Each structure stands twice: as C-alpha cells, then as structure tokens.
Amino acid sequence: MARRQATPPDMDYTEKIIDIDVTSEMEGSFLEYAYSVIYSRALPDARDGLKPVQRRILYMMTDMGLRPDRGHVKSARVVGEVMGKLHPHGDAAIYDAMVRMAQNFSLRLPLIDGHGNFGSLDDGPAAARYTEARLAPAALTMTDHLGEDVVDFIPNYDNQLTQPEVLPAAFPNLLVNGATGIAVGMATNMAPHNLGEVIAAARHLIDNPEATLEDIMRFVPGPDLPSGGRIVGLDGIRDAYATGRGSFKTRAAVEVEQLSARRTGLVVTELPYMVGPEKVIEKIKDAVTAKKLQGISDIVDLTDRTHGLRLVIELKNGFNPNAVLAQLYRYSPMEDSFGINNVTLVDGQPRTLGLVELLQVYISHRISVVRRRTSYRLAKKKDRLHLVEGLLIAIVDIDEVIQIIRSSDEAAAARTRLMSIYDLTEIQANYILELRLRQLTKYSRIELEKEQDELRREIAELEEILGSEQRLRALVSDELAAVAEQFATPRRTVLLESEASAPLKGTVLPSPAGNGAKAPLALEIADDPCWVILSTCGQLARTTGREQISDGGQRVKHDAFTSVVATTARAEIGALTSSGRMVRLQVVDMPALPPTNGIPNLAGGVSVKEFITLERGEVLVGLVPLDKPFALGTAQGVVKRVVPDYPLNRDDWEAVTLKPKDSVVGLAAADDADDLVFITREAQLLRFPASLVRPQGRLAGGVAGIKLAERDAVVFFGAVRAQDPAAVVVTIAAGSESLPGTVPGSVKVTEFSEYPAKGRATGGVRCHRFLKGEDHLSLAWAGHGPARAVSATGVARALPTEHGRRDGSGVALSQPVDAIGPNPV
C-alpha cells in the first residue's frame, strides 16, 4: 500500500492555536447536550403532555388528513413523512413512539387507531411496512383549531417548514395517558388517570382557583391504569400528588374458583400496569422450581379476544388459596411497584410538579389557546364585516359603480376613483373589483344585510369573551365537559387503602397474642375439626366447624342431610355404596362452605359423582369415618357391624359380602348404647340393641336383622340413641297403582319410644296403617327429630307437628316428598 503524503499548507497560511480549559469545555458541551436531550427528546411538555416526536407524529398525520373517518395508511408512510419533514432521527424511534400511542394497554386513551399487529405486553409490533394507522377520535381534540393561531409555530430542523411548538390539547393528556422517559440526569414516570375524573378536577380548579389538594383529590382519588388491577396503599399516591414524587403498589385482580370437584384455582383477570401474562408465567415457574412457591400444580393461560385475560393457577390439594396468593404477590410480578416522578417541561425548563400544579399549567395553556382562538376569530369576523359593509355601499349605486369601472383605463385607476367617490378603503375597493356580477343581485343584498347583522352579533359575543376573564374560563370549562362526555369511561383500577381491604379476605390474620400485629396465614390447610355433609340431592361439601350445623336456622335448598360425619380437614372418610363397596375419600379435596351463622347451604357443594364412579344401578348410601365401627343394613334384612380394619394400599374395597340381588340400604355409626332400627316396605318396624350384633371383619356377610315376609323388603336402616326423648319415626305411604309423584300419599310422625324393643331376627311391630289406595311405604326414617323432608329439587316440605299412634294412619301430604334426612345435630 502506498504511503499517504501530507499536503503542505498554503503560503499565506497563518497558524493560530487557542488554549482552552478542558474542564470548562466539557461542562459547556455536556450541558448543551443534556439540554438538547431533555428539551428535544425525553421529557414531555406539561401543556399537551407530549414529547417532540409524539407531537410531530400527530401533527403530520393531521396534515396528511388521516382522520378517523378516512382509511388507514401504511405506518411506514407516516414514519417517512415525520422523519423527512420534522424529526431527523431514526425511523425505529419514530415507529416505537407511534406504536405506543396506539396501544390500549399503554395509554388510557389511545391517540392512534392502529390496524395490524401493534404488539402486546409480551411481544413487539410487526414492522412498519406491515401495519397501518390513522388518527383516533381523541387525537382530533389534541390538534383541533391549529389553523386559528392558537399556538406558536417554530421552524423545523432545516428551516423549510414549520411545526407547532405545542398542541392545543383539549384534554389534560399528560395526566390521562401518563408519560415515561429518561433524560440526562433525570427521568419522568407518570401514571395514567381516568379522563372523567381529571376533567372534573380541572373544571373544579377553573371555578375555584384557590382549591387545595384535598379538594382536587375528591375528584382524582388515584391513578386509573389501562390494565385495571388493584392499587394497594394510597399514602404514596398522596405524597406524589403533593410533591410530584411517590410510589404505590399494584396487584393483579384474582378470584378463587372451584375448577373441579377436587381442584381449586386462582383465576387472574387483571395484571399490574405493563406486566404481561408470559412474564408472570415464567416467573412463577422459576419460583416453583426454586422452591420459593409451594402449593401450585399447574398454570394455564386461557386469554382470548372474547373473554380477555384469564390466567388459571391450579392449586394442590390442602393448600390455602389466600396464603398461596400472598406468596405469588411476593415472588412474582403479580405485585409490582410504580414510582411516580412528575418531571415535566414548564417554559422549557424541567420541573417536578404535584397534581394541582400540573392542572394549573394545563388550565393556563388551555385559557391561552381559547383566548388566541377567540382573538383570531374576532379579527376574521371584523375583516369580513369590513368587506360586507363596503359591498353594501357599492350595491346601493351599483350602476354608477359599473360605469366607473368600465370607464377606467386600468384597475388602479378604478380603485382610486371608487375610494374617492364612495369613501372606501383599499381593501374594500379591491374586493368590489374582484366581485362577479351575479353577486350584485337584489337577493345577494338581502343575504349581505343578514350576514352583517350576524357578524355584528358574533363580534359582540367574542369581544365579551375577551373582555371577561370569567366568561373565558367558563368557555374552557364547558369545552372540557364536552370532551369528557364524549370520551370518558368508567374507572378500571380499584383503589384499596391498605392490605386489610384486599378483595381476597384472610390474607393476613390477627396475631394470636392479641396485640393487633399481623401474622401470615398458614400456607397449608390446618387439620382443624370439620363436618363432611352429604345431602339428599347428592351434594357433598365440608364445613369449617361444628357450629355451622348446630345453631339451627331457616330451611334452605339442600338442607336435608343424608350423612353428617365429624372429622378433620386432612383426614380420610369412607363412602359406602349400595353394592357394599367402600370408597376412600380425602376430606381436603372437598369444597369448603363459607362460614354461616345457620345451616349451611349445600348448593355451594359439588355432586358426589365427581368423587365416586358408580356402576349402573349403584347408589351412594352414606358416609362413615374410617377410624370407628359402624353398622349397615341390607334390603333383605341383614345387619352387620363393621370393624375399622381396612386395607391401606387401596382406595376402594368390599365392606360386606352380599347375597345375590341384595343391596345395602342404610348405615350408621353405632355403639352398644344405640338401638338398630329396620323399617320395611310393608310398614314393619324392628328395634333391637346394637350389642346383640357382634362386630365382624370386612369380608363377613353379616347376620339376620329382621324377619321379612315373602315380598317384603327393607326401606330404612339406622341407629337411634335408646334414651333420646326427641327421637321420632317418620313414615310415608303410597299406592302401587299410582304413578310416582302423582299422588303425594300420607305421612305419619311417631315418637320412637312408642315402639318396643324386640329380639334380633324377629318380625317387629306395625308402624303405619295404610289408607285406601295405599299398600306400601315409599319412604321411612328414624332418628333425632324433627326430621327434614325435601322434594327432588331440594325444596323443603313440611311434616306434621303432632305425633300419631304407632299403628295409626298418616295425614295426607299436600306435595310429594322424595327424601327424608336427619335434622342437624
């Protein structure tokens, strides 16, 4: 490679070296650069809430005529126009700013109507050559009246075009849509707010210039984020509104749902501001892998366009949803912090403003815009009135005016003669010379006189507005109200004063010491005492304590219980079917009913079929504890007391060996102090002590319980405390010739003490005398009274309050009864 030769200086070259201080030069250059970044790129103007690139995009789209009622154009075309004429920077930066103004999850009130893939919280937008855009309706209010000298215009970067220094901004865009930006040595981060609330506060400040922050916060209680969610703790918001700096916590909106009979889940419908579901899923999975989060079995994103965000977090059995949610808030982006830093440009200088100051700057700007617009319109009206008055003068003597113009050698001579003869100004004379003959008709004169009157009225009104500060401020307020009526939407973000008012109750509990301190909720469900309840309609659930079924209360749907088992939340119980099969059930898998002061409503439970798969013709008889003996009775009169000797490695097993065509009809927890009771189809009742039945293993077939007639069968088997004074027997008779459900039949309630105890394997005594048309018992029950009767839909039915004779007949039922259950004890 040839060596480059240095070119010698010219003969008249004079060397001049200037010594400068490097420190001073660096300070000056850096300050100039910093000011350029602050003013020309990073910080929004307090008046219209826009950065220069955003302002230039909206102005150029307005200049291109991309109104909401026009078609979309390629985003690349808009970017090119902005970059070539107003913003000499990279196209990526311009497109990014344009995309943000079109995203409804970034801005509370988007200013650009985007068509195509403008990105999401987890993915970026498509390239500018693929997407299309036009102005959103709200953007028209930002650029409206630009042609009426409402703001100053400044040269563009090459002094060939002009651009607005600030937009008119018919609503407080800085507060409504917020802003974010990083400048040299400072940053701004402003939260979005509700348009209706901000405008209401601005109008109040217009009417009451001395209003305090407390007055304004009655209208603007806090930010209103596009994604909704929850804001927890308002102290930081008050600090930010007072000083311009503060922070607050945002949380996802979460509901606890029963995903299936055995599974509970947390359903997330709203996330914190600028947090996407994919980020949440990733962080949750990382926390579960790192053992920071417990109790989560799966997480599924079911978000779609129809239902919006729906993030389902499935929980493991035995974990408290509130405690898991508290962990999620701690270890995932489902709780985020937003720091408010209201740094904005005021008169070209960066300042940190509170809520009242921000509104005051905007109101001053809007008053200036309306005043300049009014002055512009007044000047235009006066100019037009001046022309109309001159034209009316000429029309009065139109023939002579025409003669003067025709006899003049040139336009200048005609203008001079008209000005001297009719005392017109040069502007009026030029206007007359430029008129067409058709504008000089008699009809035009009538129109001109009407226009003259209208102009004088409008001029007087405009002068009144300019002459009265009160009228001017009222006009600004009215225009703000019109914008609010057109674009205001309901609040999306819920404001919570503290964590104690969180939507999911029980996130924190009072300290056991009773000193008012907060103790974290236990992650796993404690093994506390509870009751498992099975209703006559096949609904299964667990309660949180005994008091829920012992306090009485009004009858509600599903309040007739087939089985009530005392157990603990993390224990196991058994479910016995009519085929003698015992199925092991986990109590913690069952849905927990909310606390009540009376009888729980089992409509909040789930069908037992979700827990037990029944064969054809097989029904669930009842529930029993697995750690205590119980007695069962079959349709053929067999009785068996079962000892708790069950296999530990199986979920279902045979609890009794049944004879062919036999089935289990009832079961009950029974000790030696109880009486076992059989009631048959032909109204025979046998009562004998449980001590007469020796406990047997699970494979035994039982012993004879009641002696049955040839075609008789057992319809009820149970256990009754022998000395219970409130024990009753309920029997309901029916006829074989009537269709089921068409004839209610008769019912009889008898005191249990009226039936004498007999020996095992005997026939018992008569318990119901059939009336005409009755030949069997459709239902029977014995136990602690009063009993509860229900229809097939779970609606309560009344039973007789007076007790009848043991061998007497019943009283007619007004409506059919499909099941009888014990009163809660």
Q: Tokens representing 88?
A: 């000499």
Spatial separation of the C-alpha atoms in residues 219 and 228, rounded to whole Å:
18
What CA–CA distance (Å, rounded) separates 676 from 809? 24
* DSSP label of 737: T
AA letter at 511:
S
The helix (run of H) or strand (run of E) holding residue 582 is: strand 581-586
Q: Which two tokens stand for residue 663?
A: 């089935």
**Residue 517: what residue type?**
A
C-alpha distances in Å from residue 492, one per residue of 139, 194, 498? 22, 8, 18
Name residues whose C-beta falls within 8 Å of residue 29's C-beta, 6 or more positions apart in sequence.
none
Cα distance between residue 414 and residue 433, in whole Å: 8
CA-wise closest residue to 73 among 84, 60, 54: 60
Convert 163-194 to b/e letters by CB count within 10 Å (16 or more is b).
bbebbbbbbbbbbbbbbbbebeebebbbbbbb
Q: What angle do CA 322, 328, 329 make, to 5 degrees?
A: 90
Rounded to 10 degrees, the C-alpha dihedral 815/820/823/825 comes to: -170
Question: Cα(755)–Cα(753) distance, rounded to whole angstroms?
Answer: 5
Contact partners, residue 150, CB within 8 Å, separation at least 6: 168, 369, 370, 372, 373, 376
Sign, Cα dihedral of 512, 514, 520, 526: positive
| CA nearest to 303, candidates 439, 472, 125, 121 | 121
Considering the candidates 95, 130, 157, 329, report the single residue annotated as catalytic. 130
> Cα separation of 337 and 330, whole Å?
12
Is 755 one of the catalytic residues?
Answer: no
DSSP letter, residue 554: -
Q: Closest Cα to residue 198, out of 49, 311, 359? A: 359
Map tokens 């061998």 to a residue. 807
Which tokens belong to 226?
A: 């596009």
Strands (E), 669-814: 674-680, 684-689, 695-696, 703-704, 714-721, 727-734, 746-751, 765-766, 776-784, 788-790, 796-797, 811-812
- Residue 621's SS3 state is strand
- The tokens describing 407, both together, are 């006899």
**How many Å apart are CA 569 and CA 599, to the nearest integer?**
19
Which amino acid, 546? R
Counting beta carbons within 10 angstroms of the beta carbon of residue 4, is it exposed (0 to 12), middle (13 to 18) or buried (19 or more)? exposed
In three-state secondary structure terms, 732 is strand
Residue for token pair 């006559």: 536
| Closest C-alpha to 689, from 678, 702, 674, 703 | 674
Distance CA 58, CA 100 (A): 13
Q: How far apart (Å, rounded) are the C-alpha atoms in residues 583 and 589? A: 14
Strand 494-496 versus strand 230-232 pairing type? parallel
Distance CA(199)–CA(525), nearest Å, equals 48
Transcribe 403-446 into DSSP letters.
Answer: HHHHH-SSHHHHHHHHHHHH---HHHHHHHHT--GGGGSHHHHH
For residue 805, what are its two tokens? 């004779």
Catalytic residues: 130
